[in-house]
Structure 1
Amino acid sequence: MDMSHEIVRVVYRKYDGSLHWHHRALLLGEDEHGVWTGCVAGSSGHKGDGPAVVWPYAFVILFPRDGWWTATFNAAPNKAEIYCDISTVPRWSAGEVTMVDLDLDVIRMRRDGRVFLDDEDEFEEHQIRYAYPPDVIENARATADRLLEAVKDGTAPFGAAPRWLTLVT
């Protein structure tokens, strides 16, 4: 692996600004789908101010330029091949990408290819707790519906493991 890649900080927050998942990653590059970062197996991150979580698998994350989502492509042994977080549009500034996690997740399982929408209950709860504005709710729902179909259909970039994953495995 080429270790000359720049290190960036990936920061997911909740709608109230509180820290959610965050970690360091290698900035791998860009293509027509957006900006890609990656982590080798054994990398770690934190949920909020909790203890470090070590990931025993490599993964890459796609940050689309204008989409209300991010997509993580996991290497085995992770059971989820693709994990899309519905979020606000990722914003880049001074070596950091930040977005607000909007709870809904589109997931494709590795073993059986099953695709499903997860955390709808959390999305409903957080609409009240964080007072999501109507446009945020509409964008999150519409994005989840579009991603669910794209991941099911294997529409690019969801058809096969992206070439970027080979840079961290």
Structure 2
Amino acid sequence: MSTVRLHKVKRPGGVYWFGFEQVARDADGTWLRAPIGSPWHAPHEDGTSTMPVVVLLATGRPWAAWWVGDPAGRRLEIDVCLPPSTTDDGWRYVDLELDPVWHENDGRVEIEDEDEYEESWRGGFMSADDAKLARVVAEGCAQLLRRDTEPWLRRGWELLDQA
């Protein structure tokens, strides 16, 4: 296992990073895991995670999947983004704000952060092409979560349970 950072660029919010362990690489992408206590940094503060997280990334794919082990309600969040790329110390992507989310407690799927998407789009921090990509990918990922047929969806929960 190797230690990596995931840099998440939010426009206009700045660059956030999260410390992860790279636990696997397969046909679905690269799997990262952050157990409780993993470091993170935001433009306004630093801290450590209070819950385990697993992330699946792949170059060329405009989303990153986050399995979140929140004791108040586990969920799978899809960060719609410009396709992730590798860096010297891990990964980087630009967040396009819309987040399809599946909630384990009731099976509900919703697209969150519409307000952040509008702020980024209307504020000129997102191009028209990026805004269109965000909308199309968010809707497609929401449908994927509703179908629940992809094997990697279950793999993420398994890795989260090991964190």
Q: TM-score normalized by structure 2?
A: 0.88
Corresponding residue SS for 1:10: strand
Q: Match for 1:84 among 78, 85, 90?
A: 78
Conservation of the 8 A alpha-carbon contact between 1:106 and 1:148: yes
Q: 2:102 maps to which residue?
A: 108
- Please give the alpha-carbon distance, in whole angstroms, between the structure 2 residues aligned to 1:82 and 1:141: 18
Report the aligned-residue RMSD.
2.0
Query: Percent identity, aligned pairs only?
Result: 23
Q: Which amino acid aligns with 1:34?
A: G
Pairwise CA distance, 1:138: 1.4
Q: Match for 1:26 among 21, 35, 39?
A: 21
Alignment of 1:29-68 (within 5 A): 29-52=24-47, 54-68=48-62
Conservation of the 8 A alpha-carbon contact between 2:65 and 2:78: yes
Corresponding residue SS for 1:125: helix
Q: TM-score normalized by structure 1?
A: 0.86
Larger helix share, 1 or 2: 2
Q: Match for 1:141 among 117, 132, 135?
A: 135
- Please give the alpha-carbon distance, in whole angstroms, between the structure 1 residues aligned to 2:25 and 2:155: 17
Listed as ranges, the gaps of 5+ residues in structure 2 are: none
CA deviation map 1:43-62 (0-9, x unaligned):
2312223232x333211100
Pairwise CA distance, 1:121: 1.9
- Please give the alpha-carbon distance, in whole angstroms, between the structure 1 residues aligned to 2:144 and 2:98: 15
Listed as ranges, the gaps of 5+ residues in structure 1 are: none
Q: Which amino acid aligns with 2:159?
A: W
Corresponding residue SS for 1:158: helix
User: Do the aligned partners of residues 98 and 161 (structure 1) sit closer, same or farther apart at CA in structure 2, a change above 3 Å counting?
Assistant: closer
Return 122-131 or 106-115, whichever deviates more. Answer: 122-131
